[in-house]
Amino acid sequence: GLPLDTIKGFSDAHPKPSELHFQYGTAGFRTLGNTLDSVIFRVGILAGLRSKKLDGRTIGVMVTASHNPEQDNGVKLVDPRGEMLETSWEAHATVLANAPTTDALLEALEVLVASAKIDLSKPSRVVYARDTRPSAPALISALEDGFKALGVEARDGGVTTTPILHYLVKAINTKGTSESYGEDSEDGYYTKLSESFKKLIAGRTKPGPLVIDCANGVGAHAAAKLAAYLGETLPLILENTATSTPGTLNDSCGADYVKTLQKLPPNLVDTMKPGQRACSLDGDADRLMYYYLDERGLFHMLDGDKIAALVAAFIVELVKLAGLDSEVKVGVVQTAYANGASTKYLAERLPVKCVPTGVKHLHHAAEHYNIGVYFEANGHGTVIFSQETQEKLAKYEPSTPAQSTALNHLINLTQLINQTVGDALSDMLLVEVVLAHKSYSGVEWNSLYADLPNRLVKVVVGDRNSFKTEDAERRLVNPPGLQAKIDDLVQRYEGGRSFVRPSGTEDVVRVYAEAAVKAQADELAFRVAGLVY
Ligand code: NG1
Ligand code: ZN
């Protein structure tokens, strides 16, 4: 049975705040860092049980709150293939987090062990990491108490990015198999990325330096290490690297700042000269936002949709050049927040599917293609190659030198891309490869299509859970009658599109609107917000 006395001893030191309710949502648990002690302790136990359930395979635990303000923190579990936690276990996490007392926790654990048929004699293995937030050390010791309470074999991944933790989980679980994902160390990660990058840009014109806004987060450490592995091949200029200065994380910088405000982080204004290309990471380095200044010094943003367009078109072209277009089907997955112009551009070239917000939905839909490209407009995304496709590429015998070259590029892309989850640094190298192959500057990339003007607003409502959607969150079914009013407004705007959905991460309802001109997009968003309020 469970080591009830040991768990009790540790649990009494991590009491649940009685007034708070916690929910494992699309981003795991995420709230003020100083309220999460009991939650994180319990997640330590849950991760161990998840590992036992999966026969001792290694589970990941990441302590981060991504792009949220510095005082927030959070925790997410990673399944053995490096993917997000299986949905049914999100509910188990929520139940454990809300057990009011130690006795209630012990009871909830016994119920979980019985209902999920967990064999407690199995080993349990976990690898864990955290970003640079000041609240992390205390939360990590609560997590470690959770491991001790259950007797988990825990490996400390240190202070690192979310995508590196996902990489480690997959590398550990595939070690020594035919599907080995790479060495199970940070060195293995940087080596895998930098070697494949060097192969992919061999013989191309050396790119000019790239400015990286590291959001004063853990991406600053990772980008500095990556720069050392890349050497001369890609000069990086790192900005916003003050990871130990309190109050700086994600403050007036980072991918979310750039996407939301559609402007340069203020402290890059002097660094950026006309023609300069740059990108921003978020606080845990899984989102990426590109931009450049044109020759007049005007700012142009290249978001997740632009990355999807660039990358998907390139991969489709390589598959065709390799002579594999009848056998390998490439598809794209987006959410309702994708710019309508990107959807139009992509749908003219390949299949495009729209799914509800949240990486797990995008990832699962992308698995239905041989090669699935998915990006959220906010810059989170990746490309996944099915196991069958990777084997096909390995065995395929090209009949011309041109086919052989294209095939090698595809194989190297399978190594360059972190297929477990969106990874700002891997995605950044991917973008640099495509730009080098196409001889594109930011200008050519940006002109693949012109973004439709858009506006995103938040509305605080009495009960966001009363907002129910269908059709991949593009239409409301509740409150009754509201969708008809939105439809009525939308059809009065040229190129108009708007939708309303409850946020999965904040206690608000989000309103998105697009229209042919900016003032109209703003007006439509505010009028729809007026209906919701
Ligand atoms: P919510 O709060 O459900 O809109 C936000 C982002 C998502 C995704 C999640 C998880 C927007 C509009 N929404 O979700 O894209 O990144 O956080 O982190 O950007
Ligand atoms: Zn993030």
Residue 506: what pLDDT?
Answer: 85
Cβ–Cβ < 8 Å for 489, 514:
no
Reply yes or no on whether 66 is catalytic. Answer: yes
Structure tokens at 461: 């409502």
77 contacts 90 by C-beta, under 8 angstroms: no
* CA–CA gap between residue 43 and residue 218 (Å, rounded): 22
Cis bond before residue 479 (omega within 30° of 0): yes
* 67 alpha carbon – ligand 1 mean position (Å): 10
pTM surpassing 0.95?
Answer: yes
Q: Specify the pLDDT at position 26.
A: 87
170-212 tens-digit pLDDT: 999 999 999 999 999 999 999 999 999 999 999 999 899 999 9
- The CB of 25 under 6 Å from ligand 1? The reply is no
Of the candidates 409, 201, 197, 397, the one whose C-alpha atom is nearest the C-alpha of residue 318 is 409
Count other C-beta atoms under 10 Å from residue 126's C-beta.
Answer: 28
d(CA 280, CA 287): 8
Query: Of the bound ligands, which one is closest to the alpha carbon of residue 288?
Result: 2
ipTM of the complex: 0.97
User: Which portions of the chain are predicted below pLDDT 50?
Assistant: none
Closest to 78 in 3D by CA, of 89, 67, 68: 89
pLDDT for position 224: 98
Q: Kindly give the distance from the C-alpha atom of residue 532 to the centroid of ligand 1, in angstroms, as a whole number.
A: 19
Name the β-bridge partners of 334.
354
| pLDDT given at position 505 | 83
pLDDT, tens only, 363-408: 999 999 999 999 999 999 999 999 999 999 999 999 999 999 999 9
What pLDDT does 298 receive? 96
pLDDT score at 533? 85
Q: Measured at the alpha carbon of residue 145, what is the angle toward residues 37 and 9, in degrees to the nearest 5? A: 95
Q: Which residue, 294, 244, 21, 16, is CA-closest to 133?
A: 244
Query: pLDDT value at position 509?
Result: 97
Tell whether 404 is in a known binding site: no
- Residue 376 assigned to a binding site: yes
Quick check: CB of 510 below 6 Å from ligand 1?
yes
Between CA 106 and CA 207 the distance in angstroms is 58
Catalytic residue among 38, 51, 66, 196: 66
Please identify, by atom number, the ligand 1 atom nearest to the C-alpha of residue 378.
19
27 ligand 1 Cβ < 6 A: yes
